[in-house]
Structure 1
Amino acid sequence: MKKKNVVLRTAIPGPRSQQIVAQEQRHLAPGLQGFALWAGVAMDHGRGSTLTDVDGNTYVDLIGGIGVNALGHCHPAYVAALTEQAQQLTVGSFTSAPRADLVNDVCGMAPAGLDRLQLYSSGAEAVESALRLARHATGRQEVVGFWGGFHGKTAGAAALMGSTSKYGLGPFPAGTTLVPYADCYRCPLALEEASCGLACIELARKAMKAQPSGPVAAVIAEPMQGTAGNVIPPKEFLPAMADAAHELGALFIADEMITGFGRTGKPWGVDHSGARPDIVTLGKGFGSGFPIAGVLTRDAISQAKPWANPSGASSSYGGNALAAAAARASVRTIRDQKLWENAEKVGAAMLAELRRMQERHPFIGQVRGAGLFLAIEMVKDRKTKEPVDTAVMKDVYQRCVRRGLLAMTYSPHIRLQPALTIDEDTALEGLSLLDEAFRELDESGRWR
């Protein structure tokens, strides 16, 4: 496929990138994302779905800031909104026109019945607030999360992290129970999807009743799990979990950080299943790069005290005028252009191409996608589903970067969540570069 976007001027990483990365690493503390470290490049500017490094090399960006970059790099409406607002008012707790507009815009497109919004500066902060709200509204303490879940790295959110990533981080706050999520490719019950009868739903329902040490305040779930590898559960799963929560007298929290605002081909991740959340957490594409997050809920729930007391739900940076202006531009562009329709269209083309790639490469165990929320599962053997080694994923990633493609890889997944504005030609150009890297890996045999 002819490369329309990729321009390679130097070896990667180039000399200027190497210099800047070395300068940064002299004092920057450890803990950056692995794929950023593996690339070894320093970026200079971005436009749409491309990034250009300081050496002049231009890449197709299918990472999209891990779903943050909803509008694409430097979208004109977004740049104009930030530029104008930065010259008028940036911080402060007082009411501002951007914040007033934003809360009305979001509530106008929110899942049914959710008409109150509080604003924060990070996803984890919003999740912590949602947990407090649920506890205050119900008078209960216990929270149920899911295996494979990710809701942030602060103490309460990290307690809900359903993976080994939290090893060594505890002790965590008490009152957390984790139950199976419907990851059907790697079924937690080792069953086959076609014949399992969704047994994980019944197990999760029973566990919600049997394991907590007291009455449950909330059940929190991602409509589709991002960090677990862009996992897409059967449509029956989420409504069943919401029903289970309500049977227990608990609230159902949908964490829409990555699935909200059109990412999955519909305005909200819950729209695929019809699940009715009581609380929704927002982030990532909400601000299209500017740090802003939120908690959506019903009016009656929002009145719960002490959450509803003065300063009970506030945040130093939450909803400041500059952040609100950025999010307003993001939300209005997504809404007015119905970018979820582009996500559905381009995502379908990408998924079709990924399926063709799966036929060519024996190490692709599964491809999956909903809109521009896609993933590739990498395996040594399709029958056993044994994951490929992390070293193989690093090798694939670096082969992609050297070709001019940025695609998020970590064992055993490749996650693709580009800007909602990406066009089909750019998306398929990126996948053609991934296919080239796969052909090299296939020939080397290193994946076995």
Structure 2
Amino acid sequence: MPTSTAHIVEREKQHRLPGGQSMTDLAGIVVDRALNAEVWDKDGKRYLDFFTGVGVCNIGHSHPRFLADVNDQLGSFAVGTFYTDVRSRYYELLSSRLPERLGRIHMFSTGSEAVEAAVKLARAATGKHEIVSFWGGFHGKTQGALSLHGGPRKHRSGPFPPGSHQVPYAYCYRCPLQLEHPTCDHHCVGFAEQSIENGSVGDIAAIIVEPVQGTNGNIIPPRGYLRALRQLADRHGALLILDEVITGFGRTGSLFAFEQDPETAPDVVVLGKAMASGLPASAIVSRADLVEGTPFGAPSAAASTFGGNPLASAAALSTLRILLDEELPERSRRLGESVSRRLASWVEEFPFVGNAGNVGLMVGVELVEPGSKRPLPKDVTRGIFRELMARGVLAMAYDSRIRIYPPLSIPEHHLEEGLDAFEATFRAMSDSITRP
């Protein structure tokens, strides 16, 4: 049977439904093998992976300890909902890294599933039904999770469950209120309060927010913003849900992003993506007293067919041990400091780099038409994407908001090599972008 790249791609396209991931079709490669931050395709071309499945592979590809742990579990048993030693050990280790108010865990398979469970928990715990989310926020593609999205991804996908309210996020580069930080004094939070007062029925169960907006372009809010949202939730007797599906497990320089401001004190945290390094696993963490005696806490009410299965639990346990033993969150923070310096030089050198920032190794770069804040058109950004691939880098650079997610374990020389490729690409295309 032919196994060329073209044949494999065509064979899959013949049998799949439309609607798959953009990155798949734009890259058009067939991955053959991967090791840490390097990926090789079927044609033998080598790439640096600044994509990692949208930040899924924080410990790097094919980590030998991870492979051994997962293979051991696979050789024992992989299916079942009974108590397992491996899941109990994972819960114990994860709980030890969480504040007491978040010490209870329930596992699922996908981020969307966990988001839906978090909303269900909030409604059960408060007896209320309305949920506040944010412009640009993204929490998944199931119908309930998509109702929380504040943007065009949900167009023509309704109707949605009632009770969702979207308010502006602290996107300071494009402040929807036309203010400047810090003199604005987090006025977007005050605007959110007015929106709740005027647009809700006074029945707010939860505020759900990403500590850094991932899908919107790795948008970093100013310090103190999450703390202000905590206070807003308290004023309305609502829970604060942090969606750490992308920011979790070391990506931002701490194991969880909320640790960088302990006063945020979330009531529920949603976890996923990097949790099990490629095996489907997600979770919500909270505390038992919120749902004891409620419909959420009834037998099987929050059960998930594959949630917490032995194989996923083994992968999650191995991932967390590697992250902690190899101090990868701290490494992310340290490497992020050098990335910050690079980003500052890009803003200075390239007039089409309008905004660039990072928290650890969660990096966002916004490309604009020089002298304006108008996003670079797709024909230009697709050219940047192709040029990067030609230089051996895989990254979400096909849109005006570039998202960069290298493994936290990436060797420093590979990180520098990838950033050099970005600079070379920007220089190669600079004349065509800046030419009147």
TM over 0.5: yes
**1:82 and 2:50 are equivalent in the alignment:** no
- Give the percent of matched residue pairs that are identical in Structure 1 and Structure 2: 39
1: CA distance, partners of 2:5 / 2:172: 41
1: CA distance, partners of 2:388 / 2:435: 16
Aligned mate of 2:97, from 78, 103, 109: 109
Contact residue 136 and residue 304 of structure 1 kept, 8 A: no
Query: For residues 41-80 of structure 1, what are the structure 2 equivalents within 5 Å?
Result: 41-80=29-68
2: CA distance, partners of 1:303 / 1:421: 40
Contact residue 352 and residue 433 of structure 2 kept, 8 A: no
**1:322 and 2:331 are equivalent in the alignment:** no
Provide the residue aligned with 1:229 in structure 2. Answer: 217
2: CA distance, partners of 1:377 / 1:289: 28
Q: TM-score, normalised by structure 1?
A: 0.94
Letter in structure 1 aligned against 2:276: G
Q: Secondary structure at the match of 2:173?
A: coil
**1:162 and 2:150 are equivalent in the alignment:** yes
Q: 1:304 to 1:401 in 2, by over 3 A?
A: farther
Query: For residues 187-266 of structure 1, what are the structure 2 equivalents within 5 Å?
Result: 187-266=175-254
Shift of 1:170: 0.4
Q: Secondary structure at the match of 1:113?
A: helix
Provide the residue aligned with 2:407 in structure 1. Answer: 419
Contact residue 265 and residue 341 of structure 1 kept, 8 A: yes
Shift of 1:237: 0.8
The 10-residue stretch of structure 1 (29-38 or 261-270) with the greater mean CA deviation from structure 2: 29-38
Paired residues, number: 433
Shift of 1:358: 2.4
Shift of 1:20: 1.5
Provide the residue aligned with 1:305 in structure 2. Answer: 294
Unpaired runs of 5+ in structure 2?
none
Q: 1:343 to 1:361 in 2, by over 3 A?
A: same
**1:409 and 2:394 are equivalent in the alignment:** no
Letter in structure 1 aligned against 2:95: C
Provide the residue aligned with 1:337 in structure 2. Answer: 326
Contact residue 116 and residue 302 of structure 1 kept, 8 A: no
**1:380 and 2:343 are equivalent in the alignment:** no
Shift of 1:420: 1.2
Aligned mate of 1:286, from 275, 300, 307: 275
2: CA distance, partners of 1:446 / 1:51: 33
Shift of 1:225: 0.6
The C-alpha deviation readout for 1:22-72, integer Å capped at 9, x for no partner, is 221111111122222111111001000011000111100111211111111
2: CA distance, partners of 1:354 / 1:18: 37
Provide the residue aligned with 1:364 in structure 2. Answer: 353
Contact residue 42 and residue 54 of structure 1 kept, 8 A: yes
1: CA distance, partners of 2:179 / 2:380: 28
Shift of 1:381: 2.7
Unpaired runs of 5+ in structure 1?
1-14
1: CA distance, partners of 2:230 / 2:435: 40
Q: Secondary structure at the match of 1:365?
A: strand
2: CA distance, partners of 1:411 / 1:399: 13
Letter in structure 2 aligned against 1:70: N
The C-alpha deviation readout for 1:93-115, integer Å capped at 9, x for no partner, is 10111111111111111244211
1: CA distance, partners of 2:77 / 2:313: 11
Q: 1:111 to 1:67 in 2, by over 3 A?
A: farther
Q: 1:20 to 1:446 in 2, by over 3 A?
A: farther
Shift of 1:447: 7.9
Aligned mate of 2:110, from 105, 119, 122: 122
Provide the residue aligned with 1:276 in structure 2. Answer: 265
Contact residue 66 and residue 319 of structure 2 kept, 8 A: yes
2: CA distance, partners of 1:179 / 1:447: 38
The C-alpha deviation readout for 1:201-243, integer Å capped at 9, x for no partner, is 2111222233212411111011111001001101111111111
Contact residue 389 and residue 447 of structure 1 kept, 8 A: no
Q: TM-score, normalised by structure 2?
A: 0.96
Shift of 1:21: 1.2
1: CA distance, partners of 2:289 / 2:385: 48
2: CA distance, partners of 1:406 / 1:111: 36
Q: Secondary structure at the match of 1:408?
A: coil
2: CA distance, partners of 1:89 / 1:57: 36
Contact residue 133 and residue 304 of structure 1 kept, 8 A: no
The C-alpha deviation readout for 1:312-352, integer Å capped at 9, x for no partner, is 11100000000000000001111222211110111211221
Q: Secondary structure at the match of 2:7?
A: helix
Q: Secondary structure at the match of 1:289?
A: coil
Shift of 1:301: 1.2
Q: Where is the helix percentage greater, Structure 1 or Structure 2?
A: 2
The 10-residue stretch of structure 1 (336-345 or 166-175) with the greater mean CA deviation from structure 2: 336-345
Aligned mate of 1:392, from 370, 380, 385: 380
Contact residue 196 and residue 202 of structure 2 kept, 8 A: no
Shift of 1:80: 0.6
Shift of 1:438: 0.9
Contact residue 400 and residue 434 of structure 1 kept, 8 A: yes
Provide the residue aligned with 2:17 in structure 1. Answer: 29
2: CA distance, partners of 1:140 / 1:29: 38
Shift of 1:248: 0.6
